């Protein structure tokens, strides 16, 4: 392997950040990790008021929306590897 000592090798995340507009990059992370789980939690609180039970709707929807957000972010990060560059 012939690595240049001038520039360190970039991880996939740093390469994605370099090739993407910063506001788009941070917006997708904020949507995936912040807004989507918050929305799931708030929806869960509403469902707990409508249908109380043993299972916490808020925690269930919080975890589900967090997992979905992370899957969305992972798929967006892997987009370059699959060759799908259209945005």
Tens digit of each residue's pLDDT (9 = 90 or more) over 63-76: 999 999 999 888 88
In whole angstroms, give the CA distance from residue 53 to residue 72. Answer: 30
pLDDT at 5 over 90: no
SS (H, E, C) the chain: CCCCCCCCCCCHHHHHHHHCCHHHHHHHHHHHHHHHHHHHHHHHHHHHHHCCCCCCHHHHHHHHHHHHHHHHHHHHHCHHHHCCCCC
Q: What is the pLDDT of residue 31?
A: 84
Q: For the whole prediction, is pTM greater than 0.85?
A: no
Mean pLDDT of the chain: 79
Confidence of residue 13 (pLDDT cuts 50, 70, 90): low
Spell out the domain ranges in the chain: 22-82
With beta carbons less than 8 A apart as the criterion, state whether 68 and 76 touch: no
């Amino acid at each position: 392997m012939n690595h240049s000592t001038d520039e360190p090798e970039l991880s996939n995340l740093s390469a994605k950040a370099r090739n993407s507009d910063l506001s788009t990059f941070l917006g997708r992370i904020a949507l995936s990790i912040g807004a989507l789980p918050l929305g799931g939690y708030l929806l869960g609180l509403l469902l707990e008021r409508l249908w109380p039970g043993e299972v916490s709707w808020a925690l269930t929807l919080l975890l589900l929306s967090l997992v979905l957000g992370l899957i969305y972010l992972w798929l967006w990060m892997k987009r370059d590897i699959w060759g799908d560059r259209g945005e």
